[in-house]
Structure 1
Amino acid sequence: MTISYNVVGDGPTVLLVHAGVADARMWAAVVEDLRDDHQVITLDLRGYGDTPLEPGAKYSDAADVLAVLDAAGAGAVTAVGSSYGGYVVQQVASREPQRFARLILLCAPTDNVEPDEDLRALWAEENQLIDAGDVDGATELTVTRWIGPDADDEARGLLRTMQRHAYDVQLAAGDVDNEEWPVVPEKITAPVRLITGAHDFRFFADCADYLADRLPNATRVELPWAGHLPTLERPADALELISQDDED
Structure 2
Amino acid sequence: MDILLIGGLWLDASAWDLVVPELEALGHRPVPVALPGQGDGDTSATLADQAAAVVAAVDAAAGRPLVVGHSAASTLAWLAADARPEAVAGVVLVGGFPWDDGRPYADLFEITDGVMPFPGWEPFDGPDIADLDAATREAVAAAAVPVPEGVARGVVRLTDERRFDVPVTVVCPEFTPAQARAWIDAGDVPELARAKHLDLVDLDSGHWPMFSAPAALARLLAALSA
Asked if TM exceeds 0.5, the reply is yes
State the AA in 2 paired with 1:206.
W
1:33 aligns with 2:22: yes
Give 2:201's aligned residue: 221
Identity between Structure 1 and Structure 2 (%)? 21
Give 2:183's aligned residue: 206
Contact 2:166/2:195, CA 8 A, preserved across alignment: no
Measured after TM superposition, the shift of residue 31 of structure 1 is 0.3
Measured after TM superposition, the shift of residue 101 of structure 1 is 1.0
Contact 1:60/1:179, CA 8 A, preserved across alignment: no
Contact 1:147/1:229, CA 8 A, preserved across alignment: yes
Give 1:4's aligned residue: none
Give 1:196's aligned residue: 172
Give 1:9's aligned residue: none
Measure the CA separation in 2 of the matches of 1:205 and 1:24.
32
Measure the CA separation in 1 of the matches of 2:192 and 2:46.
34
Measure the CA separation in 1 of the matches of 2:28 and 2:201.
24
Aligned residues: 215
Measured after TM superposition, the shift of residue 203 of structure 1 is 8.7
1:76 aligns with 2:59: no
Measure the CA separation in 2 of the matches of 1:100 and 1:55.
29
2:217 to 222, 225, 238: 238
Equivalent runs, 1:41-120 vs 2, <5 Å: 41-49=31-39, 51-55=40-44, 59-70=48-59, 72-112=60-100
Runs of 5+ consecutive residues of structure 2 not aligned to the other structure: none
Contact 1:90/1:183, CA 8 A, preserved across alignment: no
Measure the CA separation in 2 of the matches of 1:150 and 1:84.
20
Rg (Cα) greater in structure: 1
Give 1:3's aligned residue: none
The 3-state SS of whatever aligns with 1:44 is coil
More helix by share: 1
Measure the CA separation in 1 of the matches of 2:71 and 2:175.
14
Give 1:8's aligned residue: none
Measured after TM superposition, the shift of residue 155 of structure 1 is 3.0
Runs of 5+ consecutive residues of structure 1 not aligned to the other structure: 1-11
State the AA in 1 paired with 2:168.
V
Measured after TM superposition, the shift of residue 90 of structure 1 is 0.2
The 3-state SS of whatever aligns with 1:97 is coil
